[in-house]
Each structure stands twice: as structure tokens, then as C-alpha cells.
Structure 1
Amino acid sequence: MATASNEFKLTGPSGTEWYNRSAVTLSCRLSPEISAVNMEIRWFQETDCVCVYKNREVTEGRGYEGKVSLFTQELGKGNVSLQLRDCTPLDVGHYLCQVTDGDSTGEMTVTMKQSSREQRSLKIQKEINMATASNEFKLIGPSGKEWYNHSAVTLSCRLSPEISAVNMEIRWFKETDCVCVYKNREVTEGRGYRGRVSLDTQELERGNVSLQLRDCRGSDFGDYLCQVTDGDRTEDITVQMNI
């Protein structure tokens, strides 16, 4: 890890925003106003990955196809806001915007609520500003591809040096799907993975953040991204699962 050349924070609306009919914009911008064209942008709702902007392409998450978009023409001005259409009650809740530029990651949570008048409001819950992290670490994966035995597999991932991950935040993704999240010492399984994934929480103390996947299916094969956050520092690594 190294100190990023461009330090930034994420900012949102100064007050409440209301959506018109069935559309809403979850406001989020970079400060200072620098280009986000070459950055990586992820929007989440709880364990669901809403959309990913990477390599100048937007990929919609499962269940959000045709419902979400970014202002791609505004990315050059640091506008990373999310557009959400055809809103339903299931869309109400907390949204996390995560922007990565090299070794620097900024995050901000926006809450979408439904008022008594059946309108929805947005307000900033918190901002996490960029800073130099005190603990430096990197992620180490398997020396080769991971092969599953029958219907179970462990996707190996460890912290180096071997420091505790108990108080860190751990996310595992498969493409736009959030497989599981470890946060505040609790594991939450992603949609489509309930009852099938777990972390060895007793091993977190030794920096073992490996993912255990059971009842494997053909759709489970592919690349998995492990992302570990400690304060303002985020590291990630890709692990490949093959037949």
C-alpha cells in the first residue's frame, strides 16, 4: 500500500432529497471535484451489489437490471451519483457508495426512507474521509486455482503479515453479486448464497479470511473478489474457482 496521489472524500446532499414518482437520485460526489472516469465505483444495498463501474463500464447487479445507472458523462466532474428507477418498498434502506482510486478508497452511506406521505427522503448518515492507515497489510491467496471436492470448496485468502481481522470489514464478491459480508463481528450472507457460505470466524484472529462455499453449482464457478477494509485502508485479491 502507498499514499494515493489524489486524496478525496465523498459528499452528498446538504439536506433531504425527495424523489418524483418512481425515480430517485442518490447523490454522491468527490471532493475536491476530480475525475472519477478511471476509478472503480460500487454501490451496495446491504449485501446486494447494486452496480459496479469498472474499466469504464457499468454492470448492473442481480435484481437491478434496467433499474439503475450512473451519470457517466458527469464522472469527469466527480459525480458518482446513482440513479434508481421503478422504486419499490424493497428499495428503501441503506446504500453504500464505495469509490476506489488505486490504493485509496472512500465510502459514504446514504439512507433512503419512506415518509408518512409515501415519499422517500435521502440523508447522509456518515462520511469516511481518506487518510493514511496505521496498519499496512496485503492479501495472499492460493498459489494456483482452487478446485472443489464434491460439493464444497474453500477459497483461500489470508492477511500478510498475520494480523487479526476480527475488527475489520470483509466482503466476498462474485462479479456483481455480494456473496457475504463480515461487519461489526457479524456475517451476513448475500442473496442466493444463504445457508451456503461462511467464514471461519475463529480463524479471523490469525488473519484467515477464507470463504467456505457449500452445495456448489455450475453457476458458482468463476472469479471471486475478496475485499478487506481496516479503517481507511482497503485491499483486495481475486481467487479463481474451477471444476
Structure 2
Amino acid sequence: MTICFAYFCNMLDPKMYLSNFVFISVLLMIADGFTLRGPSGPLVAPLGSSVVLPCSVDELLSVESLEVEWRRTDPETLVHLYQDGESRAESQQQDYQDRAHFFTDQIQHGNFSLRLDNLRAEDKGEYTCRVYSQQESGETVVQIKDVERLLVSSSDRSISASVGEDVTLNCSVDSHIPPGDLEVSWKKTVEDIQVLLYQDNEAHSSNERYIDRVELFPAEIPKGNFSLRLKSVRTEDKGVYMCQVFAGDLSANATVTVEQMGFSVSHIMVLILCIAASGSALLLCCLIYCRSQNEGVFLKLCFTS
């Protein structure tokens, strides 16, 4: 209202009229700016994938003096910068070099979106797109709500087991999904036998060969540890086992090899004792036989004399 009053009051003065007109024009340009369009909601993308952070404007802006700035807001980090008609990769924070890219040929059409490659778990957070064009500016916020990840790992080394012993087959799961919402299947791959299935927070085995011989470690499951304990190992247990994990459309697996089946120390000791006992028994039989033979000869000599 004050601006309008000053404007009409000074209409009779050409110099004052011109200065007020310029002032009002600049003020309106700064106040209005332009509206940037972002995504309709938070983004969710798989670990290691590429994700596009949308940022665009409907009206065409002058490329001259155009500046586009993408920043991570938590913490404040420069992700990428477009300035003086080109991408300024040298200005990027090191973590985003060679990973964050503009669609350079689309900038002149009002597309200031950013492509982020090789998505990492730590990329989760808020990003701000700020655009400056002459006296105008605008910004929009994009949130990467979650980075979907499902990583399954096991020991790189084969497991040496002996008949009758208990062994542990390692399987570790790293995921943004709570362990209780995962489905884990242990299989013996060559024979395609399901050894154990973890589903709906319960673990069970339906194969006769493994009933009462396999189990998980319940206290370790909340930590993502789905290792399998195989009890009283048999010779037919030798082979490759797969720990396969499912979470919606995601799945991942790791394998463990059980090899070098043989007798355990206790079995060997029993065998030695058996052999020793057999040897002792044989020796005793020989002594008894020899003694009986000697006694027979002695008695024969006595009767002949």
C-alpha cells in the first residue's frame, strides 16, 4: 500500500516516477521468482543403483548468468554446481566426484535434475536444488528416504568337518529391512535339498535327513546373523550349502562348502582302543594256546617216563 501511494504521489515528477517504476519492477521480480518442481514424494532406491533427483521449471530461463547448485543439507555439502554454462566438477565434494551428474543438454530446457550413481547407504538424506537466474531464484528439496540394501556374506574358506562333530555354516545379512521381516532359506545346492527355512520369525526343517540336526542361533538373528549349526555331521553332509535371503523384490545369497569328511578325534581314539583291545585279546589267546601246548608236552613226558 505504501509503495502504491508513493507511486501515485510522484507521478507528476518524471524522475521520481521513473525511479519508483524501476524499484517496483525489481521488487516484484525478486518477490515472485520462479517455482521449481521436485519429486512427488521421498525417493527409495536400491544400493549401488543410479537415482535421479528431480528439479525442473516449466518456464524457460535465460542461460546467461544461470547458476544451479545442488547441496546436501545434512550435513551442508556441495554435491554439484553448474555455472558459466558448464558443470563445475572441481567444486564437488570428494564423495560425489564421478558420481553426481547434470543432464547438461537439458539444462537449457529447464531440467536441472541430478543423477547420482553407485548409490551408497550414507547417501540417505535431504538434498536442496537452488537455481539462480539474473534477479530470480528458486529452490526445491529432494529426500532420499531409504537406500534399499540386501547384502549376504559368509566365510570365504571351506569348512573341514569330521564325522560326528558339530559345525557352523556362517551367513551374515546386512539390510535396511528388520531381520524379522526377512525370509532365509538354507539349501544343499547339488541335491537341491532344503535344509532349513526361516519364515515369519520361525525356523524349521522338513527334510528327514536334517530334522533335529540343524538350527539357527536365535539370540544372533536380530544382529543379522543367520548362521546354521549342523550337528552330528555325516559323510553324506559333504557339499555346498547356500544361504539365500529374500525381502520383497530383493534377494541375495552366499555359499559355504563343507569338505574333507573324516573321522573325529574321538572316533579315532575309539578305533585305536578297539585295535589295542583286539591285539591284547589275540596276544592272550596265543599265550593260552602256547601254555596249553607246553603243558600237554610236559604231561606226555611225565607219563612216558
TM-score by length of 2: 0.35
| Greater RCO, 1 or 2 (C-alpha within 8 Å, sep 6+) | 1
Q: Whose strand proportion is higher, 1 or 2? A: 1
TM-score by length of 1: 0.43
